[in-house]
Amino acid sequence: MSRPGWRQRIEAARLVREATSRRRVRRLVERRRGMRFFVDGRELLNFSSNDYLGLSQHFTVASALQDGAAREGAGATAPHLECGHHAAHQALEREVADWLQVPAALLLGSGYLANLAVLQSLLGEGDACVQDRLNHASLVDGARLAGCKLRRYPHADAEGALRQLRAHTGGMAVLATDGLFGVEGDLAPLRQLAVVARVQGALLYVDDAHGVGVVGPEGRGSVAAAGLDHVAVPLQLVSLGKALGGYGAVLAGDTALVEHLAETARPYVHSTALPPALAHASLVAVRQARSQEWRRERLQGLIATFRALAGTAGLDLLPSDSPIQPVLVGADQAALAMSADLEDAGYWVGVVRSAPGHARLRVSLSALHTPAEVVGLVEAMARARDRAAIAFPSPDPTIPEPA
Ligand SMILES: Cc1ncc(COP(=O)(O)O)c(C=O)c1O
């Protein structure tokens, strides 16, 4: 029989990843205290997590988790439509809806699942999902699962979105974009996209996994920051695993949409509900995120400090005002060498390898960092950059930016 064997298949794939410096390794976090992570026997100051507001270890959030577990146990025992829908889930949905000033909300197991759920339950053959080229992978996977046409436009290009929608008539269309982009750190042009969606009769769906808690009035996210409401943006995604420090996600928006999702979205209907104890913890985290403006103010101060110092040190920054601060490096090997060098100096900074020649370090700031720690990071990055420049001379400047 000439069927390819699974061992050869995965070995060949591993060799390709090795040859292209694309191996991925899990680092073992032994324990942590705030942004100090104890990893593989070393203490590192973490600049790679999404705990933007520093809520993941907050004592009131952790206590709510403990209390919830003591009362309700470890799990929900069933999907929401069976017997897994608990009062804690409903209280969290109401709190998020109230915070974002939308009529309805639906709690899901994760942001990834939520994106599969939305696109699978709304779109099918003959429909189209028009997306920013730099959208999160789960939006792309959701469109694939839906079996609709997936059409992408250049990053943050509302005219490109309009062109794609115009080219697709006859079926329903969803225009989907990240609100705050998780790697670039910039905001989608939501006001323009809202006009495009309205003119084209498309549903605008904003995945604001990184924006809620961080930007906008009361931390309500990039939709509120753009001055839009649930009429312009009938559905948005809130991740509970980033600024809110927990796990899970909430879809928030129009009541009819939320009810449709609750009855028809397969990743919702056929999956065990989030543990109620986690919902208790997220409810407390949402209240903290809402009311503690000082966390966002502190974060803004750190962002300004980082950008000013990194600019002076000649690091190649992208135009981001958010806690996600990508630093362009160039060759994958140079970025990996810089990251290893930073680790030797006691800093943990993630590497993002996208198109060849455009590797970057993704610096992620948290309200738990101090200004002195940011100063130390930038100095270490400048030293690491100088060493990498000697070991790996500049990339070919003719390599175009990814579209
Ligand atoms: C923009 C965006 N959407 C969705 C997700 C997935 O969310 P979750 O981690 O809750 O599954 C992520 C995760 O990184 C993300 O960056």
The domain in which residue 183 lies consists of 59-291
Question: What tokens were used for 269?
Answer: 């209907």
Query: What spacing in Å lies between the alpha carbon of 242 and ligand 1's midpoint?
Result: 8
The stretch 164-189 carries a mean pLDDT of: 96
- pLDDT at 392 exceeding the cut of 90: no
Q: What angle do CA 197, 354, 398 make, to 5 degrees?
A: 100
- Whether 132 and 224 share a structural domain: yes
Last residue within a domain, chosen from 291, 322, 349 = 291
- Whether 122 and 167 share a structural domain: yes
* Residues in CB range of 89: below 8 A, 6 or more apart: 76, 80, 107, 273, 274, 276, 279
Distance, C-alpha 382 to centroid of its chain: 27
- Domain containing residue 242: CATH number: 3.40.640.10
- Whether 246 and 301 share a structural domain: no
pLDDT digits 0-9 by tens, 49-85? 999 999 999 999 999 999 999 999 999 999 999 999 9
Q: Are strands 104-108 and 249-253 parallel, antiparallel or unpaired?
A: antiparallel
- pLDDT at 318 exceeding the cut of 50: yes
- Whether 72 and 161 share a structural domain: yes
Query: What spacing in Å lies between the alpha carbon of 52 and ligand 1's midpoint?
Result: 14
- Domain containing residue 31: CATH number: 3.90.1150.10
Residues with C-beta less than 6 Å from any ligand 1 atom: 110-112, 115, 136, 138, 178, 182, 207, 209-210, 239, 241, 249
- pLDDT at 382 exceeding the cut of 90: yes
The closest-lying atom of ligand 1 relative to the alpha carbon of residue 115 is 4
- Whether 30 and 129 share a structural domain: no
Question: What tokens were used for 156?
Answer: 């943050």
Q: Identify whether 395 is part of a domain.
A: no
Question: What tokens were used for 386?
Answer: 């100088």
Q: Identify whether 8 is part of a domain.
A: no
Q: How far apart are CA 91 and CA 224, in angstroms?
A: 22
pLDDT digits 0-9 by tens, 209-254? 999 999 999 999 999 999 999 999 999 999 999 999 999 999 999 9
Residue type at position 51: D
The string over 121-148, giving b where at least 16 C-beta atoms fall within 10 Å of a residue's C-beta and e elsewhere, is bbbeeebbbbbbebbbebbbbbbebbeb
Q: Which of 325, 392, 384, 382 is closest to 357 using CA atoms?
A: 392
Q: How far apart are CA 98 and CA 106, in angstroms?
A: 13
Q: Identify whether 7 is part of a domain.
A: no
Last residue within a domain, chosen from 291, 309, 333 = 291
Last residue within a domain, chosen from 258, 291, 324 = 291
Q: Percent of the chain beyond pLDDT 90? A: 90
Q: How far apart are CA 330 and CA 335, in angstroms?
A: 7
**What does the pLDDT read at residue 395?**
52
pLDDT digits 0-9 by tens, 130-155? 999 999 999 999 999 999 999 999 99
Q: Identify whether 184 is part of a domain.
A: yes
The closest-lying atom of ligand 1 relative to the alpha carbon of residue 239 is 10
Task: Among 236, 237, 239, say which to mutate for ligand 1: greatest number of ligand atoms within 8 Å of CB.
Answer: 239
Looking at the structure of the chain, the number of domains it has is 2
Quickly state the pLDDT bin for 199 (edges 50, 70, 90): very high
Query: What spacing in Å lies between the alpha carbon of 96 and ligand 1's midpoint?
Result: 17
Q: Percent of the chain beyond pLDDT 70? A: 97
The stretch 378-398 carries a mean pLDDT of: 81
Q: Which of 191, 161, 192 is closest to 175 using CA atoms?
A: 161
Q: Identify whether 264 is part of a domain.
A: yes
Q: Identify whether 10 is part of a domain.
A: no
In contact, 125 and 148? CB cutoff 8 Å: yes
Query: What spacing in Å lies between the alpha carbon of 61 and ligand 1's midpoint?
Result: 21
- Whether 297 and 151 share a structural domain: no
- Whether 170 and 182 share a structural domain: yes
Phi, psi of 37, rounded to the nearest 5 degrees: -110, 135
Q: Identify whether 71 is part of a domain.
A: yes
**What does the pLDDT read at residue 357?**
84
- Whether 322 and 184 share a structural domain: no
Q: What is the 3-state secondary structure (H, E, C) of the chain?
A: CCCCCHHHHHHHHHHHHHHCCCCCCCCCEEEEECCEEEECCEEEEECCCCCCCCCCCCHHHHHHHHHHHHHHCCCCCCCHHHHHCCHHHHHHHHHHHHHHCCCEEEEECCHHHHHHHHHHHHCCCCCEEEEECCCCHHHHHHHHHHCCEEEEECCCCHHHHHHHHHCCCCCCEEEEEECECCCCCCECCHHHHHHHHHHHCCEEEEECCCCCCCCCHHHCCHHHHCCCCCCCCCEEEEECCCCCCCCCEEEEECHHHHHHHHHHCHHHHCCCCCCHHHHHHHHHHHHHHHHCHHHHHHHHHHHHHHHHHHHHCCCEECCCCCCEEEEEEECHHHHHHHHHHHHHCCEECEEECCCCCCEEEEEECCCCCCHHHHHHHHHHHHHHHHHHHHHCCCCCCCCCCCC
Maximum Cα interatomic distance, the chain, rounded to a whole number of Å: 66
- Whether 184 and 317 share a structural domain: no
**What does the pLDDT read at residue 298?**
98
**Residue whose CA is at the smallest distance from ligand 1 atom 5:** 111
- Whether 36 and 154 share a structural domain: no
Mean pLDDT of the residues in the chain: 95
- Whether 66 and 135 share a structural domain: yes
The string over 343-382, giving b where at least 16 C-beta atoms fall within 10 Å of a residue's C-beta and e elsewhere, is beeebbbbbbbeeebbbbbbbbbbbbbeeebbeebbebbe
Query: What spacing in Å lies between the alpha carbon of 305 and ligand 1's midpoint?
Result: 27
Q: Identify whether 3 is part of a domain.
A: no
- Whether 91 and 40 share a structural domain: no
Give the end-to-end CA distance of the chain in Å, rounded to a whole number: 43
Query: What spacing in Å lies between the alpha carbon of 198 and ligand 1's midpoint?
Result: 26
Task: Among 108, 110, 138, say which to mutate for ligand 1: greatest number of ligand atoms within 8 Å of CB.
Answer: 138
Query: What spacing in Å lies between the alpha carbon of 184 and ligand 1's midpoint?
Result: 14
